[in-house]
Amino acid sequence: MGHLRPALSWASAYRNTKTPFTCVSCLSHTYKQRRFPSRTHATQAHPKKPYYVTTPIFYVNAAPHVGHLFTMVTADVLKRWQLLLGNTDAQLLTGTDEHGMKIQRAAQEAGMDTQEFCDMNCQTFKDLAKAANLKHDHFIRTTDDAHKDAVRYFWEMLRHRGYIYTAKHEGWYCVSDETFYPQSQVQASLDPATGRKIMTSVETGKEVEWSTETNYHFRLSAFRDRLLEFYKENVDWVSPSPYYRDLYSSIESGLQDLSISRPVERLSWGIRVPGDETQTIYVWLDALVNYLTKAGYPFTPGKESDLGWPADVQVVGKDIMRFHCVYWPAFLMALDLPLPRKVLVHGHWTMNREKMSKSTGNVVNPFFAINRFDVDTIRFFLTMQGPLVSDSDYDNDYIVRDYKKYLQDGLGNLMSRTMGVAKWKPRVSIDAAAAGSLPAPTDLDKVIEEALHITPSRTKMHMDLLKPRAALREVIWLIQGAQKYLHLSAPWQYKEDPQQAQRIVYNVCESLRIAGILLSPFMPQKSAEILDFLRVGTDVSKRNFEAATYGADFEYGEVEKTSKLLFPPLLIEN
């Protein structure tokens, strides 16, 4: 199959100007002895490097669902948290994966030109990012010319270093998953829609078809020991931890070389192998490079990290964990590129405890959900109940339940009770706190003040561990504690001696101010409403993480009595 051997001319210009040249024969001879840099090298801090968060790029073969929305929101929360910490150059990347066989087939079934089909569905994902109030910095498309160039160069470097060879490949191929499965990973099933007998992937349940073809392969098996060593030295690289254990076990059992191209007569919609127009680059090699494309790959020597690489966190669903946590690090190791610093894996949303599927009709339209409940309510619910280790069930009744319990009767009620009574004059209590003239604390005061002191640090601890759900619950517990404190302290009983109520009013105001700041990554609009109503200054120094400290701000609280509800009753049909 000599026609499969690619020329190296395409990337020569890049090699001459951006990458030190090494003899191909030398690289081919030594690839088995190459060692991946140590943890210190791979994860060392770059003073100028922006904090970089990514979502996976989403297939445009079908409309987005609530799982896409959850991934977007999770990544957005992580990025906004960095902004709250003062990392003003934090970056968030999202986008669309527009190559591959299932997109090619979906366009054919729709009777559309493939590029027009991609353009149409890409816009839907852009619209979802806007509807979800994502603060993303770049939306990438794999049909972008800059990305195609980056993929070709990446391929050439793998080939240049001796990691690509040609071979005949036989196996069960899943168009939906865009991957080959060994015999041990397929099973006989019945198509629920037609009742016909089919073969499916054990892992995903998607249909597979037998395929025999000659294509290019990547020497994935050569990276088994290096991947295991990396995992041993970086036990927190993948979180939550159960995913780490599963991955380590799968790698330890052995890796097969990976088919990384498809014959063009089978797959025409994609990036051609450089120098070989008969082959199309495998979509999962193409797609993964997008994270580098955004970061300026091919990198100029000395400026590799200027645009963010390595990614600080890559958020992925568990169904694409193998691609991001086995294939991706192996590709990067092959080119001595730093690995992402963390990978956050999440589970799936189900309905009635069953996996969502278009064929059964149990899918959630994320646009309908946002329009029905508003974006911050959905962001709150997805983060509060979102699946990380295990799957979570999605139900409108659950959203209504959480809205009433935590938002309407919780945060909203505390706001109304505190700020709806103008005679309490929060400004007077805040001035007294600034002057150090508050009454001596009672035991109840001490309890809430301790919570106010520790909640920010505990919230940060969870976010540092990539546990946004646990972080959000810390803030909710503070609000619930403040509600209980307000009820038990009963400042209204001090009508004859209002000074005795000042410490109570101040503590409740601080609970709202600190919670409002800490909620900003999760519920950006409602957070701003809380802080605006409290008349917290709009300067960044008044609304960043450092300001979320008990007693850090004495210049707010000039509020007016209002009948506006932060979380009004839901006007929806069940």
Q: What is the pTM of this model?
A: 0.87
Residue 546 has pLDDT above 90, yes or no: yes
pLDDT at 136: 96
Residue 357 has pLDDT above 90, yes or no: no
Question: What does the pLDDT look like over 198-228, one tens digit per residue?
Answer: 888 776 777 877 777 889 999 999 999 999 9
- Which long-range contacts (C-beta less than 8 Å, at least 24 apart) are formed by 460-469? 460/85, 460/545, 463/78, 463/81, 465/239, 466/78, 466/239, 466/313, 466/342, 466/344, 467/388, 468/74, 468/77, 468/78, 468/81, 468/383, 468/521, 468/522, 469/383, 469/384, 469/385, 469/386, 469/388
Question: What does the pLDDT look like over 104-146, one tens digit per residue?
Answer: 999 999 999 999 999 999 999 999 999 999 999 999 999 999 9
Residue 391 has pLDDT above 80, yes or no: yes
Nearest-CA neighbor of 212 among 173, 260, 255?
173
Which three-class secondary structure state does DSSP give residue 397?
helix
How many CB atoms lie under 10 A from the CB of residue 102?
20
Question: What does the pLDDT look like over 479-504, one tens digit per residue?
Answer: 999 999 999 999 888 888 888 899 99
pLDDT at 223: 97
Domain boundaries, the chain: 2-348, 395-547
Residue 508 has pLDDT above 90, yes or no: yes
Tokens 């060879």: give the residue: 165
pLDDT (mean) for 44-49: 60
- Pairing outcome for strands 313-317 and 343-346: parallel
| CATH code of the domain made up of 2-348 | 3.40.50.620
Question: What does the pLDDT look like over 400-435, one tens digit per residue?
Answer: 999 999 999 999 999 988 876 546 789 999 999 999
Interatomic CA distance for residues 317 and 147, integer angstroms: 23
CATH class in words for 395-547: mainly alpha
Q: Tell me the average pLDDT of the chain.
A: 87
- Beta-carbon contacts of residue 450 (< 8 Å; ≥ 6 apart): none
pLDDT at 41: 38
